[in-house]
Structure 1
């Protein structure tokens, strides 16, 4: 009894004080009431009064009813609200007297516990259904050989769809590890926090080509994983970069039509003399170079740029070290290699331009430049001219329709991302959008914007996926692009007109005096936007950290999605991590369906006046934390919305997989995805539904593959239902998109890069892992 009393007083006092403060902020009265009841019960128990057990029984029953009203019949909503109080009750079971009150308490405790345990089998956030598996559009040929993977999304269409069908739901259980290759490129002590391994290999002929975080280009034998050659671009560490990564390289097919065959190279390829290249590989680097390499030996290509190298800082208005670089593979189409780049978020008002440049694939000569800050002038800029300052960039992966002669760029925002007063009308028009450009000239064909006057860093993060879609109006050339804010836009890629309707919705108003917020924002009828957050969604391991999260929630400014940034601090939901990020979606052009991995995480954005000389602590350390916005009136602090225990303040699930019928726009199934296996001290695979970053692929065999989640697994899913059919334990985090191909024996292989993600805390490594069916 004494132990119960002491523990009850501690918890009761905490809940009373915190609950009173929460109530003063307009929050739930439950915590104050619970705290007072606990204090009274503890006092009665200390005096060994039988009424303490009656009162605690009533308290447990009342808390159970309250928990059900807030979270529904959901284990992960009930357990944090009730678990601590059920545990506190255990010492009362051993009271030697008061048999009636003790029996009542035990009965109430047992009933609540059993009802809670039964909720484990309930999945209120899952949606069951079946995607159509019949082929709707058989005319889906592209220029990539059936067994190859020639571009980041397999082809310039960005579908992440393979026509291979050897691996099926019926035989995937026989998929076993075939080989492992280790690159040797690991995160070093002088690297930035977000040093990540996000590469998707290419497969050309019988060779795999992939890049590493420090921009090595590695050629492997596609059968065995044996190293052919390695080109080290000698990128030096730079702490001002926000990212140290490489998502992939690009391939220019040979004019002769002869597929290049990589050879085993005994010396480092960077030491070889440059050669004449028929085919080319293009490697972007984090020190802002574009390098053209020979697929056979890895030597630089003669006649392209300066001995195979183009300096991407040329004509930039500002050239701060580490502020501009390329993390995504360039686009190769119709004789051009088109390059975008990353520009650091929120470090300075005066930063490099987000210009998009097209170079001749043979000579490296600049063919055109499209700068959203000066969008009408695309002729190559003069040697003494500079591009627009801090204009919106395209850091993700572009797509192309070679027949239409159009490329499709997912556009980011101007920096500073949370301060809109520096933007020109042209920059406002093209930011946070998809822009279609004519590949021959760089002239704009059309633009579709996804946020007006973006104040939340909601860059369009993902490669658009192109397919010909059956609609009520007949077969249309479609473009599918997911966004950070949760919309999935389906547009006619020839005209930019919506296929699935887009509406304008009212948005919250009220900004800092220097700025404004758009009165409306676009919304697609196909979307994965979460409902407006409430205090009932606050979560924690115990009622105490849940209470702290509720207090934080009430202290932040939040009027729903698109609440403007503020000095008070604004809840950004969905958060900066995005419902979708660079992993994008996979689309099946034959079945006309989509596989997606929507996330559900909130962030906190806070503007900090720069005129009060306050100590901001460490600044400009990445996308999270405090960034100075040098030259502006405000710094900005960005962080996930976390409890004191470092877990999300919002109730799980935080990550799921979903299947969509693109012909109807219907979300057919959705299931939570991922476990806590690698994110806690105890390796418990609790299926909470975890966030992740990376993307899926779809195969004609009816299987989708994806790693991405914060646990170290590659999973195979039944495309029809979304159910997990197969898992493989990875040696490190799989924050990259897999790919699949045929080896020289005609066997279907699946390859996943596993190197982890520096800022997500997943297991770091340098692995390339391949799987095939066991005979």
Structure 2
């Protein structure tokens, strides 16, 4: 060591000793999948701020063990879980529904429960478990077994009740701790339906949705929602969103695959329903589809409809509601109301009165393109909120095609020139139709974050192009044989099958101009977009490309959270980072490297005076991001 190094080391040591440490903070939890039962994804934690967030470091990691134990099944897995903090423990589930409780300070495993899923089922949305639900039985003595319960939906359609303290199945719940979550349904193939999102618990009832395979047949599995007694597992009610449209239609689905929300005080549960089957051709289901594609408020005690608001009429674009309805108080143009904020794949944001379903921010019906396929009867109009402006683009001309080179761009231009393309709600046809935003676009299951003090919504969106082509039924098998690597589905019972393609250039980049992923802030007082920034880089998609592809963002899977400390945390992008943005300006202040793709929504909590930010880093089969099995916690130096 040189003599010149000694003063430098001394100065560094002095600086380290004198650096201010974060003051202990009051404990703050995250008891529900969305932070609270209304899905605001807001935390009052304020120890981590824009001034000190650059000091965040990994402090512990927890592994589910999937990389070592699941082998090839990991290729069909998506680690999308958001943990919850309840009863002094963090709870999470792996994509294979192995539930764990861990120490919130150290990440040490406390217990683990394995429902033993079959490892070789092809599920429509991969092996996936987004979260769990916690419930305290008010009638049980505090120390009684299963007085505190963790409820878990499984991919193979079971609802489990577990003792929150031990992880053991609650013997008095159904048959040894579980009940069929979609009772009375027989599937034509084992993976035709699954459950990916957590249940909700309200007024002593556990309420579950389902995820049903798209584009397989007209007479699809009904997308009913079920409510079970939280103590015994007894079925209490069933609600089918299509009941109001029968008779007169042949269809199934309209299921609730995204997370639900609950208002305990009002006794309401809020459902984001999906499209009726099949997605892209609706001749067998004339009319607007009952309560498909709707925010539906049910009376939790009975399952009766309190109100419903439809966001897409007679959906033939797979524009189902993909995100948890967010319950908030909104003051729009001076009028304050209890609200439900619902984002969509189209990049639209609907704000509805929580008690009546009437728009808080006005909605207008606008004419949309007509001329659907043979036998189709389209809605002449579709609903558009007057504010905020759409968060995702929906119009593209061939001359707008993107490419890194003239050759690349020309290839994309030809793809656009060959398809029908009249903007949002252009109906699918045998010619091929541009679906923009694509069916994974706009806002998705990660939902939004809402700052209740500032009344600001934070939303991440994706932008890409799908081309959907209807195929005469007698030509579907030949098309599948000719293009086995593409998504070609039969729509059994319909005049047409379908083909869905993501439009990429020969170099593998989206054919639409960037940004392909964004994070936006919206002031709900007037619907203004306060800022909008790209989200993500191409570093882990094509190493080195980020040097010349700047500001593109990437399509993203997962959602944001916001804190009283003035930060928005989000993973989601197709690079392996957790990021922190200044909630007021949108400036990216920090990013932490993850061991695998962070296609999940983070959470934050304060435990013993220290704030932690936690995210699942395990990648996603459909995004083909790096696989892993770790939960990673960040905190300021202690």
For 1:335 and 1:764, locate their aligned partners in 2 and report how far apart those are by CA, in whole Å: 37
The 3 A distance-change label for structure 1 pair 468 and 330 is same
In the other structure, the counterpart of 1:395 is 257
For 1:676 and 1:339, locate their aligned partners in 2 and report how far apart those are by CA, in whole Å: 37
For 1:481 and 1:228, locate their aligned partners in 2 and report how far apart those are by CA, in whole Å: 37
Query: How far did residue 348 of structure 1 move?
Result: 2.3
Aligned partner (choices 469, 472, 475) of residue 330 of structure 2: 469
Unaligned 5+ runs, structure 2: 1-25
Query: How far did residue 375 of structure 1 move?
Result: 4.7
**Secondary structure of residue in 2 paired with 1:173:** helix
User: CA offsets, 1:162-194, max 9 Å, x none?
Assistant: 111111111111211110111111495654865
Question: Do 1:192 and 1:241's aligned partners in 2 also have CA atoms closer than 8 Å?
Answer: no
Question: Do 1:159 and 1:467's aligned partners in 2 also have CA atoms closer than 8 Å?
Answer: yes
Is 1:667 matched up with 2:548?
no
CA RMSD of aligned residues (A): 2.2
In the other structure, the counterpart of 1:764 is 627
Is 1:310 matched up with 2:179?
yes
For 2:545 and 2:535, locate their aligned partners in 1 and report how far apart those are by CA, in whole Å: 17
Aligned partner (choices 504, 529, 535) of residue 642 of structure 1: 504
For 1:766 and 1:621, locate their aligned partners in 2 and report how far apart those are by CA, in whole Å: 31
**Secondary structure of residue in 2 paired with 1:550:** helix
Question: Do 1:238 and 1:322's aligned partners in 2 also have CA atoms closer than 8 Å?
Answer: no
Question: Do 2:330 and 2:336's aligned partners in 1 also have CA atoms closer than 8 Å?
Answer: yes
- The structure in which a higher percent of residues are helix is 1
For 1:182 and 1:515, locate their aligned partners in 2 and report how far apart those are by CA, in whole Å: 50
**Secondary structure of residue in 2 paired with 1:769:** strand
Query: How far did residue 258 of structure 1 move?
Result: 8.4
In the other structure, the counterpart of 1:59 is none
After alignment, is 675-684 or 762-771 more displaced?
675-684
User: CA offsets, 1:339-361, max 9 Å, x none?
Assistant: 00001101222332100011110
Alignment of 1:13-52 (within 5 A): none
Query: How far did residue 292 of structure 1 move?
Result: 0.6
In the other structure, the counterpart of 2:5 is none
User: CA offsets, 1:12-63, max 9 Å, x none?
Assistant: xxxxxxxxxxxxxxxxxxxxxxxxxxxxxxxxxxxxxxxxxxxxxxxxxxxx
**Secondary structure of residue in 1 paired with 2:290:** helix
User: CA offsets, 1:367-394, max 9 Å, x none?
Assistant: 11111232599xxxxxxxxxx9624100
The 3 A distance-change label for structure 1 pair 655 and 613 is closer
Aligned partner (choices 202, 213, 220) of residue 333 of structure 1: 202
Query: How far did residue 471 of structure 1 move?
Result: 3.3
Aligned partner (choices 232, 245, 263) of residue 363 of structure 1: 232
Is 1:737 matched up with 2:601?
yes
Aligned partner (choices 34, 55, 58) of residue 177 of structure 1: 58
The 3 A distance-change label for structure 1 pair 472 and 652 is closer
**Secondary structure of residue in 1 paired with 2:128:** coil
Is 1:444 matched up with 2:305?
yes
Alignment of 1:347-746 (within 5 A): 347-375=216-244, 390-423=252-285, 428-472=289-333, 474-525=335-386, 526=388, 527-612=390-475, 614-617=477-480, 625-682=487-544, 684=546, 686-687=549-550, 688-743=552-607, 745-746=608-609
For 2:448 and 2:314, locate their aligned partners in 1 and report how far apart those are by CA, in whole Å: 26
Unaligned 5+ runs, structure 1: 1-144, 261-274, 378-387
Query: How far did residue 287 of structure 1 move?
Result: 0.6
For 2:609 and 2:108, locate their aligned partners in 1 and report how far apart those are by CA, in whole Å: 18
Query: How far did residue 704 of structure 1 move?
Result: 0.9
**Secondary structure of residue in 1 paired with 2:413:** helix
Question: Do 1:420 and 1:515's aligned partners in 2 also have CA atoms closer than 8 Å?
Answer: yes
User: CA offsets, 1:97-153, max 9 Å, x none?
Assistant: xxxxxxxxxxxxxxxxxxxxxxxxxxxxxxxxxxxxxxxxxxxxxxxx961111100
**Secondary structure of residue in 2 paired with 1:549:** helix
Query: How far did residue 238 of structure 1 move?
Result: 4.3
Question: Do 1:204 and 1:259's aligned partners in 2 also have CA atoms closer than 8 Å?
Answer: no
**Secondary structure of residue in 2 paired with 1:478:** strand
- The structure in which a higher percent of residues are strand is 2
Question: Do 1:458 and 1:578's aligned partners in 2 also have CA atoms closer than 8 Å?
Answer: no
Question: Do 1:192 and 1:239's aligned partners in 2 also have CA atoms closer than 8 Å?
Answer: no
Query: How far did residue 514 of structure 1 move?
Result: 1.7
Larger radius of gyration: 1
Query: How far did residue 657 of structure 1 move?
Result: 0.9
Question: Do 1:250 and 1:329's aligned partners in 2 also have CA atoms closer than 8 Å?
Answer: yes
In the other structure, the counterpart of 1:214 is 96
For 1:234 and 1:312, locate their aligned partners in 2 and report how far apart those are by CA, in whole Å: 16
**Secondary structure of residue in 2 paired with 1:612:** helix
In the other structure, the counterpart of 2:211 is 342
In the other structure, the counterpart of 2:9 is none
Question: Do 1:748 and 1:772's aligned partners in 2 also have CA atoms closer than 8 Å?
Answer: yes
- TM-score, normalised relative to structure 2: 0.91
For 2:480 and 2:286, locate their aligned partners in 1 and report how far apart those are by CA, in whole Å: 32
Question: Do 1:528 and 1:579's aligned partners in 2 also have CA atoms closer than 8 Å?
Answer: yes
Is 1:290 matched up with 2:154?
no
User: CA offsets, 1:491-541, max 9 Å, x none?
Assistant: 111110111111111111111112122111111122314152112320112
- TM-score, normalised relative to structure 1: 0.75
Query: How far did residue 421 of structure 1 move?
Result: 1.8
